[in-house]
């Protein structure tokens, strides 16, 4: 990521494996992130059904609502793919459209999360209320923070492309953002399954 | 490093240049960053050493009154934290920086600016951690910070734990950034022909350590985040009253903590695996086995964490399983020891200080390894747990092992970095003072542990049978301190007046000895083509030198063509090196201020520890965020010119 220039100046570097340094470090970073979310999810699982007081998950979750926002996030992976496909064909205008679409879908998901958190807090759940509140808010909150970073990256790429800095030659930058974005999506699939769908 | 600037300015007149101290602050050169890492780490090593001397002074006699019990808690916590996170790990990273690109025939690391960022984050994190002394009290719950000793109800007399939590998170960012960099550099920036099975062992162990770092640090990060939320936002992660189990902290901490032990030892093992063949004038015995043993140790280090928790009551099945895995991990370690001895066997041995430290490593680490196998047995562990026996074990491994290995590296590569040799006579005095000092200090602690002296007690009454060994241990600690003074004197004297080393003072085997000392900013005028393991040795003596210990002199370097090209590139003309950049230090400062802001706001407002930070977010953190974002965006948008190779 270090040399991941949003501008168009990244020099092509000859590497041992033929894989760009930046792509390799992104994969390594995502491997590291697996352990990060793995530890948070493990904590959630260890404390599952261990709350001494309510509100409990079964009184709290609105699964149809969260399914819709999960669907929105999954669709954003599709638009991300379309953005990368566009720039790899040299279609800058198409890439801009799909980058914005991806960022907006991500924002919708985040808005849904804010609404969900607000509703839960109104129902008496909080960070300190019980183990469920503690583990739920911290796990999904860190995921939301990752989505937020992703949205910021997507809009930064969009703004940079308006300056004409994003071309077919450095489509790798879009690819890297895509790798991160898909990873964050996949993590949500796991979180949604483990936290919401598994029956309590 | 003015020559690089000179070389490049011939091509880019508008290139940014910095003089004097700014040439260090804005540098992205791996060798300069390595030197900064090394100097900073040695400074923290001395601070940790002073803390150790205070601890030993307190325990020299029964009923010691040198420090108060509270200060004693702070001292042993800061001693452990400083030595592990601020001294040993960064000193290893200093060698990653200085040596790895030279050993693999690269002009720099894969991400030079990320490398600078790692260093500055490390420095700011270390300063923040130690700033706790000035703001009401240092951390005081031991280096592994067990919950719930670290929770607000039990620990609210100072901000120490908050400094510890945030300092370690900042240092984690630094370690991971560095590990990503070296992982990619080693896999992806090797010179042509430098296959994995031709890589010097130090580079091998750096690669293995990098994998451990990027996978282990997220786990401690999560543990620290959970603890931070418990302290600042009243969550329940380690709160038994809400149904939580504080033992979760132990699992998360040691799941990180045991790989961390190998993060500390593997680089030192790599160093001595390079030092021994050089000073025995023989190839490393069983090279593939030594390399694969390092990989095996790294894999197995993930399956042994609960041996730190035998007395926590996990039950006989868990204890038995972790006992077996722990004993198993001694196997690849033992294989390495036999291979090192095999390397020396029949060698033409050159008894210089680096070799002495390497031999010290083998002997001391073996003792530490054996007491480790004793501790791997739960019934024995139950007796020895939390006694001075464990203190003796950890110090034989980390002092006799890691520190001896790192000093072997300092004496070995010092001439490469500075162009001058460390004084040999002073070096040998340093070695013997360290070896004798550490055995006097730590050997008796085995006995103290067996006699039941618990660790972390601020004092003890007379008549417990502990007086003699405590007194002797303190004498040993001051012997080590004298040894360190000798080293510091040697360092400063040799930097200025040491014997000029030349490119290859040890008759080296690996690529770093094929270039001038100190290396030019671009390292290699021409990227070398590697045709064998120990490439420089083979270049000098031909293949006949392999396996026989008999040298067959051959003309240095290749034919006339090579010499001609080398002359043409003498000043590195046409080699574009990365520009200096100030964004890494800005981003690092922003990150540190952002995280420190979480506690600083409370501190400035005079709130007691554990107060929820004011919402909207504390303003110091916000300022840090703005600086951080400025650094990151500037970094991302900065034109990357003149990339190496």
Write out B409-457 in H/E/C secondary structure.
HHHHHHHHHHCECCCHHHHHHHHHHHHHHHHHHHHHHHHHHHCCCECCC
Q: Are B260 and B216 in contact (CB under 8 A)?
A: yes
Query: What does the block give as tokens for B423?
Result: 């004084």
Q: Check if B174 is active-site.
A: yes
Alpha-carbon span B535 to B88, nearest angstrom: 30
Task: Give the closest of B229, B242, B245 to A130, CB-based.
Answer: B242
Compute CA distances A157 → A95, A179, B119, B586, whole Å. Answer: 10, 14, 28, 22
Residue-level pLDDT at B13: 39
Chain A nearest-CA distance from B220, in A, is: 9
Rounded to 5 degrees, what are φ and ψ at B454? -70, 150
Whether the per-residue pLDDT at A190 is higher than 60: the answer is yes
Q: Note whether A25 contacts B184, CB cutoff 8 Å.
A: yes
Q: Note whether B233 contacts A128, CB cutoff 8 Å.
A: yes
Q: Note whether A24 contacts B114, CB cutoff 8 Å.
A: no
Q: Are A83 and A105 in contact (CB under 8 A)?
A: no
E-strand stretches of A157-198: none
Q: How many CA atoms lie within 13 A of B204 on its CB side?
A: 27
pLDDT band at B561 (very low <50, low <70, confident <90, very high): very low
Rounded to 5 degrees, what are φ and ψ at B262? -80, -25
DSSP letter at B86 equals: I
DSSP string for B53-75: HHHHHHHSSTT--SS-HHHHHHH
Q: Catalytic residue, from B333, B371, B517, B618: name it.
A: B333
Task: Give the closest of A1, A10, A17 to B188, CB-based.
Answer: A17
Compute CA distances B45 → B84, B142, B357, B484, whole Å. Answer: 9, 18, 18, 10
Q: Flag whether A14 is in a domain.
A: no
Which residues in chain B have their CB less than 8 angstroms from residue A138's CB? 225-226, 229, 235, 237
pLDDT-wise least confident of A15-24, A121-130, B325-334, B550-559: B550-559
Range of the domain at B618: 19-200+586-645
3-state secondary structure A56-104: CHHHHCCHHHHHHHHHHHHHHHHHHHHHHHHHHCCCHHHHHHHHHHHHH
Chain B nearest-CA distance from A163, in A, is: 12
Whether the per-residue pLDDT at B7 is higher than 70: the answer is no
Residue-level pLDDT at B643: 43
Alpha-carbon span B236 to A155, nearest angstrom: 36
Range of the domain at A60: 21-197
Q: Check if B307 is active-site.
A: yes
Task: Give the closest of B176, B190, B216 to A16, CB-based.
Answer: B190
Residue-level pLDDT at B578: 81
Query: What does the block give as tokens for B581?
Result: 């950049």
Q: What is the pLDDT of residues B584-597, one digit of tens each?
A: 999 999 999 998 88
Q: Note whether A51 contacts B243, CB cutoff 8 Å.
A: yes
Q: Note whether B237 contacts A134, CB cutoff 8 Å.
A: yes
Chain A nearest-CA distance from B504, in A, is: 27
Number of domains in chain B: 1
Residue in the structure block whose two tokens are 């990989």: B295
Residue-level pLDDT at B598: 79
Alpha-carbon span B429 to B434, nearest angstrom: 8
Rounded to 5 degrees, what are φ and ψ at B149? -65, -25
Whether the per-residue pLDDT at B70 is higher than 90: the answer is yes
pLDDT-wise least confident of B205-214, B416-425, B475-484, B599-608: B599-608
Q: Flag whether A159 is in a domain.
A: yes
Which residues share a beta bridge with B387?
B454
Q: Are B37 and B91 in contact (CB under 8 A)?
A: yes
Residue of chain A nearest B225, judged by CA positions: A138
Q: Note whether B117 contacts A2, CB cutoff 8 Å.
A: yes
Task: Give the closest of B110, B217, B222 to A40, CB-based.
Answer: B222
What CATH number has the domain bearing residue B60?
Answer: 1.20.210.10
Among B506, B308, B495, CA closest to B412: B506
Residue-level pLDDT at A8: 35
DSSP string for B493-506: HHHHHSPB--S-TT
Alpha-carbon span B376 to B307, nearest angstrom: 7
What CATH number has the domain bearing residue A98?
Answer: 1.20.120.80
Chain A nearest-CA distance from B449, in A, is: 35
Rounded to 5 degrees, what are φ and ψ at B547? 85, -15
Residue in the structure block whose two tokens are 């004038």: B281
Q: Catalytic residue, from B30, B32, B56, B79: name it.
A: B79
Number of domains in chain A: 1
Q: Are B82 and B392 in contact (CB under 8 A)?
A: no
Whether the per-residue pLDDT at B18 is higher than 80: the answer is no
Highest mean pLDDT range out of A180-184, B544-548, B563-567?
A: A180-184
Whether the per-residue pLDDT at A175 is higher than 50: the answer is yes
**CB burial class (10 A; 0-12, 13-18, 19+) of residue A64?**
exposed
pLDDT band at B544 (very low <50, low <70, confident <90, very high): low
Q: Flag whether A165 is in a domain.
A: yes
Q: Note whether A25 contacts B111, CB cutoff 8 Å.
A: yes
Whether the per-residue pLDDT at B576 is higher than 90: the answer is no
Alpha-carbon span A155 to A169, nearest angstrom: 20
Q: What is the pLDDT of residues A107-152, one digit of tens each?
A: 999 999 999 999 999 999 999 999 999 999 999 999 999 999 999 9
Alpha-carbon span B584 to B582, nearest angstrom: 6
Whether the per-residue pLDDT at B549 is higher than 60: the answer is no
Who's near B393: CB < 8 A, 6+ residues apart?
B368, B371, B372, B375
pLDDT band at B17 (very low <50, low <70, confident <90, very high): low
Q: What is the pLDDT of residues A46-99, one digit of tens each?
A: 999 999 998 999 999 999 999 999 999 999 999 999 999 999 999 999 999 999
Please compute the mean of the pLDDT values over residues B334-353 and round it to a whole number: 95
Whether the per-residue pLDDT at B392 is higher than 60: the answer is yes
Alpha-carbon span B148 to B542, nearest angstrom: 62
Among A19, A18, A22, CA closest to A9: A22
Which residues in chain A have their CB less than 8 angstroms from residue B115's CB? 2
Q: Note whether B237 contacts A135, CB cutoff 8 Å.
A: yes
Alpha-carbon span B264 to B394, nearest angstrom: 12
Measure the CA dihedral B139/B141/B144/B149, to 10°. Answer: -130
Q: Flag whether B367 is in a domain.
A: no
Measure the CA dihedral A12/A17/A21/A27, to 10°. Answer: 140
Q: What is the pLDDT of residues B491-504, one digit of tens each?
A: 999 999 999 999 99
∠ CA B337-B342-B346, rounded to 5°: 150
Q: Flag whether A12 is in a domain.
A: no
Query: What does the block give as tokens for B25?
Result: 């602050």
Q: How many CB pairs under 8 A join A and B?
A: 144
Q: Note whether A43 contacts B248, CB cutoff 8 Å.
A: yes
Which residues in chain A have their CB less than 8 angstroms from residue B585's CB? none
Whether the per-residue pLDDT at B457 is higher than 90: the answer is yes
CB neighbours (10 Å) of residue B615?
7
Whether the per-residue pLDDT at B6 is higher than 60: the answer is no
pLDDT-wise least confident of A181-185, B15-19, B393-397, B487-491: B15-19
Residue-level pLDDT at A9: 37
Q: Check if B251 is active-site.
A: no
Which contiguous run of DSSP H or E holds residue B487?
helix B467-497
3-state secondary structure B373-410: HHHCCHHHHHHHCCEHHHHHHHHHHHHHHHHHHHHHHH
Q: Cα dihedral sign for B448, B451, B455, B457?
A: negative
Q: What is the pLDDT of residues B621-632, one digit of tens each?
A: 889 999 999 999
Q: Flag whether A72 is in a domain.
A: yes
Q: Are B281 and B551 in contact (CB under 8 A)?
A: yes
Residue-level pLDDT at B603: 78
Which residues in chain A have their CB less than 8 angstroms from residue B112's CB? 2
Grouping H, G, I as helix, E, B as strand and the rest as coil, residue B571 is coil
Q: Flag whether B58 is in a domain.
A: yes
Alpha-carbon span B77 to B158, nearest angstrom: 14
Whether the per-residue pLDDT at B572 is higher than 70: the answer is no
Alpha-carbon span B525 to B229, nearest angstrom: 52
Residue-level pLDDT at B597: 84
Whether the per-residue pLDDT at B12 is higher than 90: the answer is no
Q: Flag whether A43 is in a domain.
A: yes
Q: Cα dihedral sign for A5, A6, A7, A8?
A: positive
Q: Note whether A24 contacts B215, CB cutoff 8 Å.
A: no
Q: What is the mean pLDDT of chain B?
A: 89
Rounded to 5 degrees, what are φ and ψ at B180? -55, -45
Residue-level pLDDT at B557: 45
Q: Flag whether B36 is in a domain.
A: yes
Which residues in chain B have their CB less than 8 angstroms from residue A52's CB? 242-243
Q: Are A136 and A191 in contact (CB under 8 A)?
A: no
Q: What is the mean pLDDT of chain A?
A: 91
Q: What percent of chain B has pLDDT over 70?
A: 91
Q: Flag whether B485 is in a domain.
A: no
Whether the per-residue pLDDT at A6 is higher than 50: the answer is no
Alpha-carbon span B151 to A136, nearest angstrom: 20
Compute CA distances B235 → A60, A135, A148, whole Å. Answer: 18, 9, 23
């Amino acid at each position: 990521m270090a040399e991941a220039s949003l501008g168009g100046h990244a020099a092509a570097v000859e590497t041992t494996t033929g894989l760009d340094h930046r792509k390799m470090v992104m994969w390594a970073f995502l491997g590291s992130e697996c352990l990060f979310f793995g530890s948070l999810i493990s904590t959630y699982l260890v404390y599952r059904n261990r709350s001494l007081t309510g509100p409990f998950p079964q009184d709290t979750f609105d699964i149809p609502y969260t399914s819709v926002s999960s669907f929105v996030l999954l669709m954003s992976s599709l638009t991300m793919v379309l953005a990368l496909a566009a720039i790899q064909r040299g279609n800058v205008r198409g890439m801009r459209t799909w980058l914005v679409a991806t960022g907006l879908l991500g924002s919708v998901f985040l808005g849904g999360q804010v609404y969900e958190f607000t509703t839960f807090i109104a129902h008496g759940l909080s960070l300190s209320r019980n183990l469920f509140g503690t583990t739920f808010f911290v796990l999904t909150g860190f995921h939301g923070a990752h989505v937020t970073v992703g949205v910021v990256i997507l809009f930064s790429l969009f703004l940079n492309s308006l300056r004409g800095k994003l071309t077919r030659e450095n489509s790798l930058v879009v690819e890297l953002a895509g790798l991160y974005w898909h990873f964050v999506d996949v993590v949500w699939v796991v979180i949604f399954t483990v936290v919401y769908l598994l029956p309590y | 490093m003015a020559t690089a600037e000179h070389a490049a300015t011939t091509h880019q007149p508008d290139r940014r240049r910095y003089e004097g101290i700014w040439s260090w602050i804005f540098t992205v050169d791996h060798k300069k960053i390595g030197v900064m890492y090394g100097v900073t780490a040695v400074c923290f090593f001395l601070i940790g050493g002073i803390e150790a001397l205070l601890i030993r002074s307190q325990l020299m006699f029964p009923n010691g009154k040198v420090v108060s019990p509270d200060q004693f808690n702070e001292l042993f916590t800061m001693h452990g934290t400083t030595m592990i996170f601020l001294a040993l790990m960064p000193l290893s990273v200093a060698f990653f920086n200085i040596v790895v690109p030279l050993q693999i025939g690269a002009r720099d690391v894969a991400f030079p600016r990320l490398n600078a960022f790692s260093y500055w984050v490390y420095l700011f994190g270390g300063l923040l951690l130690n700033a706790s002394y000035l703001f009401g009290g240092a951390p005081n719950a031991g280096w592994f910070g067990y919950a719930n000793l670290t929770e607000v109800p039990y620990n609210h007399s100072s901000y120490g734990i908050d400094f510890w939590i945030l300092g370690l998170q900042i240092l984690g960012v630094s370690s991971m950034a560095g590990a990503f960099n070296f992982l990619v550099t080693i896999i992806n920036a090797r010179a042509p022909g430098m296959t994995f099975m031709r890589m010097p062992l130090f580079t091998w162990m750096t690669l293995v350590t990098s994998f451990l770092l990027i996978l282990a640090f997220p786990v401690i990060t999560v543990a620290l985040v959970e603890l931070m939320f418990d302290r600042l936002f009243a969550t329940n992660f380690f709160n038994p009253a809400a149904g939580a189990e504080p033992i979760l902290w132990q699992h998360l901490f040691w799941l990180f903590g045991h790989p961390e032990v190998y993060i500390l030892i593997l680089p030192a093992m790599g160093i001595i695996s390079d030092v021994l063949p050089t000073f025995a004038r023989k190839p490393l015995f069983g090279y593939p086995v030594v390399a694969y043993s390092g990989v095996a140790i790294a894999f197995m280090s993930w399956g042994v964490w609960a041996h730190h928790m035998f007395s926590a009551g996990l039950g006989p099945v868990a204890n038995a399983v972790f006992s077996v895995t722990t004993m198993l991990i001694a196997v690849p370690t033992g294989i390495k020891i036999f291979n090192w001895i095999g390397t020396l066997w029949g060698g033409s041995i050159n008894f210089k200080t680096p070799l002495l430290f390497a031999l010290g490593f083998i002997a001391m680490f073996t003792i530490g390894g054996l007491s480790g196998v004793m501790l791997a047995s739960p019934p024995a562990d139950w007796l020895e747990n939390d006694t001075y026996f464990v203190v003796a074990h950890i110090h034989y491994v980390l002092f006799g092992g890691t520190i001896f290995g790192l000093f072997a590296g300092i004496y070995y590569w010092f001439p490469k970095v500075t162009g001058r040799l460390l004084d040999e006579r002073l070096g040998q005095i340093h070695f013997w003072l360290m070896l004798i000092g550490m055995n006097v200090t730590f050997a008796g602690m085995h006995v103290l542990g067996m006699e039941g002296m618990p660790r972390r007690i601020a004092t003890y009454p007379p008549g417990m049978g502990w007086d003699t060994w405590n007194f002797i241990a303190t004498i040993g600690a001051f012997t080590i301190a004298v040894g360190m003074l000798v080293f510091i004197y040697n360092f400063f004297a040799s930097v200025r007046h040491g014997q000029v080393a030349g490119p290859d003072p040890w008759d080296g085997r690996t690529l770093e000895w094929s270039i001038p000392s100190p290396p030019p900013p671009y390292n290699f005028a021409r990227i070398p083509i590697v045709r064998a393991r120990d490439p420089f040795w083979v270049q000098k003596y031909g293949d006949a030198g392999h396996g026989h210990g008999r040298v067959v002199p051959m003309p240095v370097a290749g034919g006339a063509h090579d010499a001609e090209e080398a002359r043409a590139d003498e000043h590195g003309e046409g080699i574009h090196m990365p520009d200096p950049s100030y964004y890494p230090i800005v981003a690092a400062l922003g990150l540190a201020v952002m995280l420190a802001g979480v506690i600083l706001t409370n501190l400035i407002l005079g709130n007691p520890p554990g107060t929820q930070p004011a919402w909207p977010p504390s303003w110091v953190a916000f300022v840090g965020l703005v600086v951080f974002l400025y650094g990151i965006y500037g970094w991302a948008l900065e034109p990357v010119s003149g990339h190496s190779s």
